[in-house]
Structure 1
């Protein structure tokens, strides 16, 4: 199995070295380059073709990392970018997701959490974590909390289990219950049972109604256009 090729971008050398140290211990991860600025990050991605980039935000400018994320995703959309952060400011993280980041890591996170984020991003297995949904919800706090509002829908989605979110995503992408069951190696009745649980959480009578609301509100577009990338594994 090929290693996950990583670029670490941070303007503080000690932090770069820390991440290299913990990642180099893993047999399935290889740090191929490090960068001290957003501009340098773009260059090393161009030269090294990594799978995942760990990207600090504030480097040569306060939002250098976000600018680099946008440039990298424009040229190499297959590269997964995870934000490195100390302070979890809602507006900055929202900008990072809008630019194309797939997750964020607090620099003081446990090694297990850091490794899990990297491996999940590489395998396209990142689902909407409650804390991510909360960040998104913060950007829309002025909306009315009514049935068809964006804040209401995001609040429900933050309470879905990973399995329910994956099924919802597959239905959104056009898969049938039979196809979803086959991909998940379960009986179709199991999928229908989970669909019923989803409907109860949305307080709707059919998935067609749920899909109509999601399309209208462009929920998956907000979550970094993940609807086109995330599939049921």
Structure 2
């Protein structure tokens, strides 16, 4: 774990999960980022590519060590908040931009009835987003909910310009409560895998199967069925 100030070699290095030296991550970054752009421009390009180019799906998400590698996420093209944040952070590091993973517990008021049942309420442990070092300061970025999913849930799309924090909105487009941040666990140079899995299994015992995958389903089907 690291503090969210300053820079550190750990925020730039490849890791077991942020394997940006792998071909799938290199290819994803190459096709997503403009050549010759400034670090901030490239970070914004990458943010949009991860947000809208990697499908957000909780159900069936692979939370094993292999499933959470950035190279796997780039190849599979889908995942939940941890997967998308891992790919974004890995891609940033490949561009020479320091990046860390942030884990927090949140209250999500707009999840589907089935997901609330599996989670055991509206509090979700170990939500993940990123901390990015641009222009001599750390800013937060959340390339999680893609544009089409935001339309279905009637929440504003989260943009990121590299100068200000991009965190989930507290309310949806109809004024209903959306997301509350309850507890920030810290910023990490790599996925604290054992800690995250243990906390998810303790807090949401019905969510994960024995293979470290979220149970099967479809969030889009859930959204269509919700009242």
Q: Answer yes or no: same fold by TM over 0.5.
A: no
Larger relative contact order (C-alpha < 8 A, sep ≥ 6)? 2
Point out the structure with the larger strand share: 2
Shorter-chain TM-score range: under 0.3
Find the structure with the greater CA-based Rg: 1
Point out the structure with the larger helix share: 1
Q: TM-score, normalised by structure 1?
A: 0.27
